[in-house]
A and B are shown apart, each in its own frame.
Chain A
Amino acid sequence: MKVLRCESIQLVAESDIVASRHKCRTWATEAGFRLVDQTKIVTAASELARNTVQYGGGGKLLIELLDDANRSGIRLTFSDQGPGIPDIERAMQDGYTTGTGLGLGLSGSRRLMNEFAIRSEVGRGTTVVVTRWRDR
């Protein structure tokens, strides 16, 4: 698997959530994803970017265009140096939130993408990596 291109953007302010949606839309469109898949990718990005800004105290998003044998993909990595998530299993459940949201960010974006990985350490931060593939 090769990384064809990548770009990193800051996720600090609320306006960065909107910016990340636009960036992901552009990348998903250029990667040839159909409209429904673009919408899923952008929606997942919006949820995860909001988590980074609201719960992670800010961080960044790395967008990568992947090339793998007979498919191409888009990989999004959200990372922060925030407080971390003490109980990931619980955080992954629908409806669980420590804030005022609906608790669909992590569980919902896992459903919207093909691959989902989360790594978190209390006091050190959280990294969420999601990928969506497209057959060529």
Chain B
Amino acid sequence: MGSLLLVTIQVDMHDRLAMALQDDLTAKIAETAAKGVLIDISALSIVDSFIGRMLANIANMARVLDAQTIVVGMQPAVAITLVELGMTMPGVRTALNVERGMQMLTGRAVDGDVTSEGDGESAAL
């Protein structure tokens, strides 16, 4: 397993900042030969079509660079609004939180489907 990048978006980004993040992150993936990218958007109170497109772009560019992207922590109100807006974000995988996203990237089983794992979900990763 190669390295993973964890990006936490903590500010309401204006458009140029979102574009800069897209470029910086793509460069970082190449530089570190990362195999996975986790983007935590739990602090974002809205995702409009511009931010949605940026997330989709990152996922697509990462895929070309042989890395998987998972967007984690989307607030329920944001998810409802995105669907109504008509934003589909093709190719973007999502997970409920950082821990689940890590499990997806590292290929570990998510609790529930797998037997005899108990609730050892919080094991160190």
Binding site for B on A (CB under 8 A): 14-15, 17-18, 21-22, 25, 35-36, 38-40, 42-43, 46-47, 50, 94, 101-102, 104-105, 107-109, 111-112
Determine if B14 and A39 form an interchain contact, defined as CB atoms under 8 angstroms apart: no
Count residues of B near A (Cβ-Cβ below 8 Å): 23
A-B CB contact pairs (8 Å), 17 listed: A18-B12, A21-B12, A36-B77, A39-B45, A39-B77, A39-B81, A40-B80, A42-B45, A43-B46, A43-B47, A47-B48, A94-B86, A102-B49, A104-B49, A104-B85, A108-B49, A109-B85
Residues from chain A with Cβ under 8 Å of B84 in the complex: 40, 108, 111-112
Determine if B12 and A105 form an interchain contact, defined as CB atoms under 8 angstroms apart: no
Determine if A112 and B85 form an interchain contact, defined as CB atoms under 8 angstroms apart: yes
- Tell me the interface secondary structure of chain B in the complex: helix
Binding site for A on B (CB under 8 A): 12-16, 45-50, 52-53, 75-78, 80-81, 84-87
Residues from chain A with Cβ under 8 Å of B75 in the complex: 39
Residues from chain B with Cβ under 8 Å of A17 in the complex: 14-15
Residues from chain A with Cβ under 8 Å of B86 in the complex: 94, 104, 107-108, 111
Of chain A, the residue at the smallest CB distance from B85 is: A108
User: How near does chain A come to B4, taking the closest CB pair, in angstroms?
Assistant: 29
Name the 8 nearest CB pairs between A and B, nearest first. A108-B85, A39-B77, A46-B48, A104-B49, A36-B77, A39-B81, A43-B46, A102-B49
Determine if A111 and B85 form an interchain contact, defined as CB atoms under 8 angstroms apart: yes
- Tell me the interface secondary structure of chain A in the complex: helix
Complex CA distance for A46 and B78, rounded to whole angstroms: 13
Residues from chain A with Cβ under 8 Å of B78 in the complex: 39
Of chain B, the residue at the smallest CB distance from A100 is: B53
Determine if A18 and B14 form an interchain contact, defined as CB atoms under 8 angstroms apart: yes
Complex CA distance for A22 and B75, rounded to whole angstroms: 18
Complex CA distance for A127 and B47, rounded to whole angstroms: 24
Of chain B, the residue at the smallest CB distance from A109 is: B85
